[in-house]
A and B are shown apart, each in its own frame.
Chain A
Amino acid sequence: MHCHSEAPLLDPDAPVVLVGHPNVGKSALFGALTGRYVEVSNFPGTTVEVSQGKVDGVPPLKGVPVIDTPGVQSLHAHSDDERVTRNILLSRPPRVVVQVADARNLRRSLLLTLQLAELGHPFLLDLNMSDEARARGIVLDTPRLAQVLGADIVETVAIRRLGVDDLRARFDVARPMGYRIHYDGAIENAVARIAEWLSPNLTEARAIALMCLAGDDDLAARYGGEQAETIREVVAETAVRYTQPLSYVITQQRLRCVDCLLAQIIHQSPQAGPTWAERFGRVAVHPIWGWPILAAVLIGLYLFVGQLGAGVLVGWMEGVVFGKWIVPIAVRLVNLIPFPLVVDLFVGEYGLITMALTYGIAIVMPIVLTFFLAFGILEDSGYLPRLAVMMDRPFKAMGLNGKAVLPMVLGLGCDTMATLTTRILETRKDRVMVTLLLALGVPCSAQLGVLLGMIAFLPPSAVVLWGAVVAGTMFVVGWLAARVIPGKRSDFILELPPIRVPQVGNILIKTVARLEWYLKEVLPLFVLGTLILFALNKTGALHTLERWAAPLVQGGLGLPPETTGAFIIGFLRRDYGAAGFFTLARAGQLNATQLVISLVVITLFVPCIANVLVIVKEHGWKTAVGVAAFVFPFAFGVGAALNWVFRMLGVAF
């Protein structure tokens, strides 16, 4: 059954609201509509940023407000972004809702279209990236789609501003979409009962009723009192009629309508089949074939960073650049200073040049350089999100849900910032658990690079053991934490960009930018760590600490006393501590078995001092102390247990 409405009277301040999935070109369209002047502000009561501007053009549309809502998967609000978009659409009648849809992926877009239809607002469908759709051989019968939907459709290529004028010209003549889905009897009955309790003239009553049925408790709670109670009762009564959750049932019924629509309008040209990139992209997330691909990528990463970075480049930087040039020249120059303490400060055992700069530039920089290069390839090729999808599965087994994977993977960038992004997680359970696991076992990209570089010195069996211990530790802790910290899981939704050949220029620019960021962030901490060790050494406190730590470091972990210094600087930054072990290993002071133990312990350390301070800021002192009080003894405990097992079983690498 279709119904048509006349275009409503126009409020001059009513905004144009842009809605759509992520990655469909909304921002490009927003930019094309508004020109340069944009105001970005947080939606009240949230940390979600919303862009607002005014239409740039000729009257009467010039100066009309435009709101670019956050990209959403649906109007069933599961995240802050979806709540904000929903609230913007419900807060005041818009001039027009413009859904920006990806013309290459219409099935997903039309699912959102049908939800927007239920709101009853004036509506335009913008089929963006229409040039790319045609290039793929996708031919859309746009007039037919417009006729069936009962709405105007405009094809655009927003980044080139094609079609934008045509779209703009239709803002004031847009009408509510004529198409309405008929759900099954039980749902339609529930919608009617809920809508009865809402304001009788409410245009969005049907949409609100369906959102409540789909589990939007937040929306139902807004009505308060008897209304909210009635809505909940209707939802509960309807839910028991189905074996699946209502949100799933409603979505399935919408999808059936979408598929009917598509069958009428899409004609794929026979020559256009899936490209190699599309085929690879699908296989890369296959539940079975995705794993060998993931393993191959990780092995490739390990070889690239471990062999090229830690082997060849570090050997050259440390042996030639620093070993034959920089350090000897620095020693000669600094020895001219008549103060032995100052000489020691620069070129002594814990000298700023001989330790801080050597570690930071000769040892760590080549490794992170190769790591950043490899990471840039993963990003630019489009494989990185697929890696996240594959990692979602074991993390789910840990008791973490999909969305919590993102900060875990993000820890590869910077654990400190990843701790901040736990804000995107819906439940406190997930936020605290991910914070703990980030602090425990996820090295940041630079640390991971250094660890990979150190692993290159180990036989494959030791590498497997290290990976198994770290992954196993995280699994156990995550599983236990999931049972200890109450709460419910949230959903994981990830946009998968197309697989493409990485652009060399893009990768080089990203790598250089990351390297500059890393050096600016890390070198000051390396200098600080060296100064601390220098002071401890000069005062004799280092020797005292080594004696105190001997029962743990030598007795428990089976490591030489020199590693105490590496653990001390490891408190500041894990990669600095790892670099210390790296140097000891290259000097032959750590055998392979000891290197495995030290690697396991340093991997499980809290990442860096900045991370601890951010945990304080995000979760409070108690949580930060709790995390540190757990992580450090746990890391040493795992190392000690490993040492004991190795001794008992006579394992030596």
Chain B
Amino acid sequence: MNCPLCGYEFDETAMTCASACPMAAVQGCNLVCCPNCGYQMVDERKSGLAQLLRRALKVVGREQRSTGQEQK
């Protein structure tokens, strides 16, 4: 993925947030930190709602494409 702040390209699957934060000790930290600048992004893979939405958007996208093809 690309960091939206510094543009650094890194593999988020290899990133685990340095959980010095006490909140992380309690419930786990869902942030991915850019190894270049430290900018925090939420790890969408750990967000159930984000994954649901992603699947829903894919379904909508497929339906739109198939509707478009039918109309053609």
Q: Which positions 21-72 of chain B face chain A at CB distance < 8 Å?
A: 21-23, 26-27, 30-31, 33, 35-44, 47-50, 53-54, 57
| B37 contact set on A, CB distance < 8 A | 406, 410, 421, 424, 494
Query: Is the beta-carbon distance between B47 and A505 smaller than 8 angstroms?
Result: no
Is A495 touching B7 in the complex (CB atoms < 8 A)?
A: yes
**Min CB–CB distance A159 → chain B (angstroms):** 10
Q: Which residues in chain A, 16-31, are within 8 Å of chain B measured between CB atoms? A: 22-28, 31
Contact B4 A417 (CB under 8 A): no
- A513 touching B47 by the CB < 8 A rule? yes
The answer to whether A22 and B7 have CB atoms under 8 Å apart is yes
Q: Nearest A residue to B27 by beta-carbon distance?
A: A520
Contacts of A610 in B (CB 8 A): 21-23
Contacting residues, chain A, for B54 (C-beta < 8 A):
505, 509
What's the minimum C-beta distance from B21 to chain A, rounded to whole angstroms? 5
A380 within 8 A of B: yes
Q: Which one, A31, A49, A494, A524, contacts B6 given CB within 8 A?
A: A494
Output the nearest chain A residue to B18 by Cβ-Cβ distance. A420
Most interface-central of A414, A517, A520 (chain B CB within 10 A): A517
Q: Which residues of B contact A417 (CB under 8 A)?
A: 17, 21, 31, 33, 38, 40
For the complex, is A496 an interface residue (Cβ under 8 Å from B)? yes
In the bound complex, how far is the Cα of B49 from the Cα of A441, in angstroms? 32
Determine if B44 and A509 form an interchain contact, defined as CB atoms under 8 angstroms apart. Answer: yes
Instruction: Pick from A38, A421, A505: contact of B33, CB below 8 A.
Output: A421
**B7 near A496 (CB under 8 angstroms)?**
yes
**Could you tell me the dominant secondary structure of chain A's interface residues?**
helix
How far apart are the CA atoms of A512 and B30 in the complex, in Å? 13
Docked-complex contact A512 and B5, CB < 8 angstroms: no
Minimum C-beta distance from B11 to chain A (A): 5
Enumerate chain B residues within 8 angstroms of A514, measured Cβ to Cβ: 42
Knowing A420-B18, A521-B23, say if A497 contacts B50 (CB, 8 Å): no
Tell me if A510 counts as interface (CB < 8 A to partner B): yes
Alpha-carbon distance between A521 and B47 when the two chains are bound, in angstroms: 13
Q: Residue A290 at the B interface, CB < 8 A? A: no
The answer to whether A520 and B30 have CB atoms under 8 Å apart is yes
Assembled-state Cα–Cα distance A510/B47 (Å): 10
A211 at the binding interface (Cβ < 8 Å):
no
Contact digits for A481-507, partner B, Cβ 8 Å, 1 yes 0 no? 000000000000011110000000100
Pick the contact of A71: B15, B23, B36, B39 (CB < 8 A). Answer: B36
Contact A27 B10 (CB under 8 A): yes
Interface contact tally, CB-CB below 8 A: 152
Q: How far is the CB of B62 from chain A (nearest CB, A)?
A: 13
Asked if A512 and B49 sit within 8 Å, CB to CB, the answer is: yes
B36: shortest Cβ distance to chain A, in Å?
6
Tally of contact residues, A, Cβ under 8 A: 59
Q: A406-B38, A515-B49 are in contact. Are A40 and B14 (CB under 8 A)?
A: yes
The chain A residue with its CB closest to the CB of B14 is A40
**A23-75 interface (Cβ within 8 A of B):** 23-28, 31, 38, 40, 47-49, 51, 70-71
Q: Is A418 an interface residue (CB 8 A)?
A: yes
CB-based contact B30/A517 at 8 Å:
yes
Query: In the complex the two chains form, what is the Cα distance from A524 to B40 in whole Å?
Result: 21
Q: Is the CB of B8 within 8 A of A495?
A: yes
| A384 and B4 form a contact (CB under 8 A) | yes
Which A residue sits closest to B50, measured CB to CB?
Answer: A513
Complex-state Cα separation, A107 to B65, whole angstroms:
41
**Which residue of B40, B43, B44, B50 contacts A414 across the interface (Cβ within 8 Å)?**
B40
> Which one of A185-193, A340-348, A469-477, A612-620 is at the B interface?
A612-620
A385, CB-defined interface residue at 8 Å: yes
- A81-B15 Cα distance, complex, nearest whole Å: 16
* Bound Cα distance A610, B4 (Å): 25
Known contacts A495-B8, A517-B30; decide if A420 and B20 are in contact (CB<8 Å). Answer: yes
Q: How far is the CA of A27 from the CA of B37 in the complex (A)?
A: 17
A413 to B37, CA, bound (A): 13
Name the residue among B5, B26, B53, B54 with the largest chain A CB count within 10 angstroms: B5
Partner of A406, one of B2, B18, B39: B39
Instruction: Note all chain B residues with C-beta closer than 8 A to A613.
Output: 21-22
Q: How far is the CB of A348 from chain B (nearest CB, A)?
A: 26
Known contacts: A384-B4, A417-B17, A495-B8. The answer to whether A70 contacts B40 by CB under 8 A is no
Contact A505 B35 (CB under 8 A): no
B9 partner, pick from A24, A380, A409, beta carbons under 8 A: A24
Q: Which of B2, B18, B20, B47 contacts A516 (CB 8 A)?
A: B47
With A31-B11, A51-B14, A610-B23 as contacts: A81 and B36 at CB distance below 8 Å? yes
Is A369's beta carbon under 8 Å from chain B?
A: no
Does A645 make an interface contact (CB < 8 A)? no
The minimal Cβ–Cβ distance linking B39 to chain A, given in whole angstroms, is 5
The 4 closest A-B pairs by CB, nearest first: A421-B38, A495-B7, A379-B4, A513-B50
Q: List 7 A-B contacts (CB under 8 A).
A: A406-B5, A414-B40, A417-B21, A418-B38, A494-B37, A513-B42, A609-B22
Since A71-B8, A509-B50 are in contact, a sample of 14 more A-B pairs with Cβ atoms closer than 8 Å, ordered by chain A residue number, is: A22-B9, A38-B11, A81-B35, A379-B5, A417-B21, A418-B40, A420-B20, A424-B37, A494-B5, A497-B2, A513-B44, A516-B47, A524-B27, A609-B22
